[in-house]
Amino acid sequence: MVNNNLAAPCGIYCGACRAFLLKKKDQLEKRGYKQGCDGCRIRFKKCAFIRRDCPALLKKEIDFCYECDKFPCQKLQKIDSQYQDRYSVNIINNLKRVQEIGAEKWLHEQQKLYTCPECGGEICVHDAECFDCGNRINPNIKN
Ligand code: SF4
Ligand code: SF4
Ligand SMILES: [Zn+2]
C-alpha cells in the first residue's frame, strides 16, 4: 500500500525525508533531532511552499503544482535547483512524472527507488543513508 500523504504538492517524496523517517523509525533522539514530520499533507503548515505562503496551496485550490497556471513558478524553480544541487533530485521532473502516470504509480516508483538494495529498508535522501542498515547511498546518483 502506498501512502498518498507522501506525495507533496511541490513534487517532493516525503517518504525519503529525514524528518519523516526519523519520526517513523523513532530515531529522533538517537540522531539528535527534536522534530519529526508525518508528511506534507498531514502536516500542512510548515514545509517549503506553504511556509513561503503560496496562496493556491494554502487554500488547497490545487493538489499538485503542475495544476497551477504559474507552474513552474520561481519559488518552485528555486527549491528544485536546491534539491538538484544537494540531493540530485529534480522535483519539477517529479511533478511531470506525477502528471504523466498519476500519484499512486509515482509513489510506487519512489518507494522502490528509496528501498535499500542491501537490506530492503528505507533510504533517507537528505542523509544519503539507509536508516535501517546504515548503507551509504543516494539512489539518484548512479555509479
Ligand atoms: S518535512 Fe517536508 S518533505 Fe519532509 S516529510 Fe515533512 S512535509 Fe514532507
Ligand atoms: S507552481 Fe503554483 S502552486 Fe506551486 S508553488 Fe508555484 S505558485 Fe504555488
Ligand atoms: Zn539498508
Cβ(109) – ligand 2 distance below 6 Å: no
- Residue by residue, pLDDT tens for the chain (143 residues) are 567 789 999 999 999 999 999 999 999 999 999 989 998 877 656 665 555 678 888 788 889 999 999 999 998 999 999 999 999 999 999 999 999 999 999 999 999 999 999 999 999 999 999 999 999 999 999 86
pLDDT at position 68, please? 94
> Which CA distances in Å does 102 have to 61, 66, 89, 116, 119?
18, 12, 19, 24, 28
Atom 2, ligand 2: residue with shortest CA distance: 68
C-alpha of 59 from chain center: 21
Interval between CA 115 and ligand 3 midpoint (Å): 8
Query: Taking the model in full, what pTM does it have?
Result: 0.93
| CA-closest residue to ligand 2 atom 3 | 65
Q: How far is the CA of 31 from the centre of ligand 1 (A)?
A: 17
Query: Ligand 2 centroid vs 2 CA: distance in angstroms?
Result: 25
What are the φ and ψ backbone dihedral angles of 7, each rounded to 5 degrees?
-100, 100
Domain ranges of the chain: 4-130
C-alpha of residue 61 to centroid of ligand 2, in Å = 10
Residue having the nearest C-alpha atom to atom 7 of ligand 1: 40
- Of all protein residues, whose CA lies closest to atom 2 belonging to ligand 1? 47
Of all ligands present, the nearest one to the C-alpha of 3 is 1
How far apart CA 123 and CA 117 sit, in angstroms, is 10
